[in-house]
Amino acid sequence: MSNGMKELYRLSHEMKRQKYPTVPAEWLANTKYNDRNANGLTRCVIDFLTFKGWQAERINSMGRMVDDRKTYIDVIGRYKTIGSVKWVKGTSTAGTADISATIAGRSVKIEIKIGADRQSHWQRNYQQMIERSGGLYFIAKSFQGFYEWYNQTFEL
């Protein structure tokens, strides 16, 4: 297990001890973390930053589905469905990062990329916009990589 993951587990256990001070330590269930997929890595990063006392949130830029279908029973007892399903585009900025955080008063955007996943044209433009504005932008490919970047950037 990497040093970053060990620290995440330590912080998680410490937060549980603070939340449940009267429960014996051996009774507290360990939270399971992994950084092998995008959802797991996102959770690791957000939990770590939250445990450290910073603000961090996942950004959903997918849009939403609008279901206008209606189902009814016709005169001979058959089920019929009419209408359609539409996808409504999200209102967030094109290429927005997966995680938005504030660390030590700095605006930080973190993009999660696993395996062969690469930044899109929109994401590269968004990164340039953030960096021109004085914010920090980081592409996290593993929790250990994020942990090392965090320690180098925010030597607190």
- The predicted-structure confidence for 88-109, as pLDDT tens digits, reads as follows 877 677 788 999 999 999 999 9
Assign 54 to helix, strand or coil: coil
- pTM of the full predicted structure? 0.78
Distance of CA 106 to the CA centre of its chain: 18
**Token output for 105:** 């008063």
Hey, what domains does the chain have and what are their CATH numbers? Answer: 3-153 (3.40.1350)
Give the residue among 153, 100, 87 at the shortest CA–CA distance from 126.
100
Angle at 90 between CA 108 and CA 101, to 5 degrees: 15
**Token output for 84:** 């359609």
List all residues 6 or more positions away from 134 whose beta carbon is below 8 Å from its beta carbon.
107
- The predicted-structure confidence for 47-80, as pLDDT tens digits, reads as follows 999 999 999 999 887 778 888 899 999 888 999 9
Say which range, 15-19, 25-29, 45-49, 148-152, has the weakest mean pLDDT.
25-29
